[in-house]
Amino acid sequence: MSEDIIEQWFHLYSNDVYHFLIYYTGTKDVEDLVQEVYIRAFNYFHKFKGESSPKTWLFSIARNLAVDRKRNDAKEMKKQQNSHIYTRTWEEMSPDQIYEKHEQANEIMQAIMSLKKEYRDVVFLRAVKEFSILETASILKCSSVKVRVTYHRALKIIQNQLRGGEVHE
């Protein structure tokens, strides 16, 4: 039954879904996404309550898939860029340059470790583990404003220490 309905919807709306995904993603390479929309529609047909039109429901699935794809593509690109920079940098560096990089990393780590625990925790979660402000606040059970302020203060202290200044907090 649901297979027949999804097939009808495919014939009725696939062209519209296709054009929507082209518009939304900015690329014409969306055939896989269109197919995924209808696979998801089939798998979650039991959740379709008929409160909206089938076309609206399919477009919301398409939008969610496009957002997920963009998010995953961005994460993948960031990983590749970081990996490429790291590999290229180390391969092209002289032993003296590598030593200098290690020394800089050690100085940064010492500056972080000299922070009071509250600051260290925020810096670790935000800068090292790359958690969002909201995720960091949730983990530390504090407000996002506190995370922002603490992170900003911690970075100022680290910058000051790396410039040879005194620790003020």
Q: Both 64 and 107 in a single domain?
A: no
Task: Grade residue 105 by pLDDT with cuts at 50, 70 and 90.
Answer: confident
CB 121 within 8 A of CB 135: no
Mean pLDDT over the full length of the chain: 85
Residue 156 clears pLDDT 70, i.e. is over it: yes
Task: Grade residue 147 by pLDDT with cuts at 50, 70 and 90.
Answer: very high
The parent domain of residue 64 ranges over 2-76
Residue 11 within any structural domain of the chain: yes
Q: Both 120 and 62 in a single domain?
A: no
Q: Rounded to whole angstroms, how far apart are CA atoms 118 and 121?
A: 5
Residue 168 within any structural domain of the chain: no
Q: Both 27 and 65 in a single domain?
A: yes
Residue 169 within any structural domain of the chain: no
Residue 85 clears pLDDT 60, i.e. is over it: no
Query: Per-residue pLDDT averaged across 83-111, rounded?
Result: 73
Residue 73 has what pLDDT?
81
Q: Rounded to whole angstroms, how far apart are CA atoms 61 and 38?
A: 9
Q: What tokens were used for 20?
A: 């929507």
DSSP one-letter string for 103-165: HHHHHHHHHHHTS-HHHHHHHIIIIIS---HHHHHHHHTS-HHHHHHHHHHHHHHHHHHHTT-
Residue 166 has what pLDDT?
55
What single DSSP character describes residue 46? Answer: G
Residue 161 has what pLDDT?
86
Residue 124 has what pLDDT?
85
Q: What percent of the chain has pLDDT over 90?
A: 38
Query: Per-residue pLDDT averaged across 14-34, rounded?
Result: 88
Residue 86 clears pLDDT 60, i.e. is over it: no
Task: Grade residue 109 by pLDDT with cuts at 50, 70 and 90.
Answer: confident
Q: Both 157 and 115 in a single domain?
A: yes
Task: Grade residue 9 by pLDDT with cuts at 50, 70 and 90.
Answer: very high
Q: Both 100 and 132 in a single domain?
A: yes
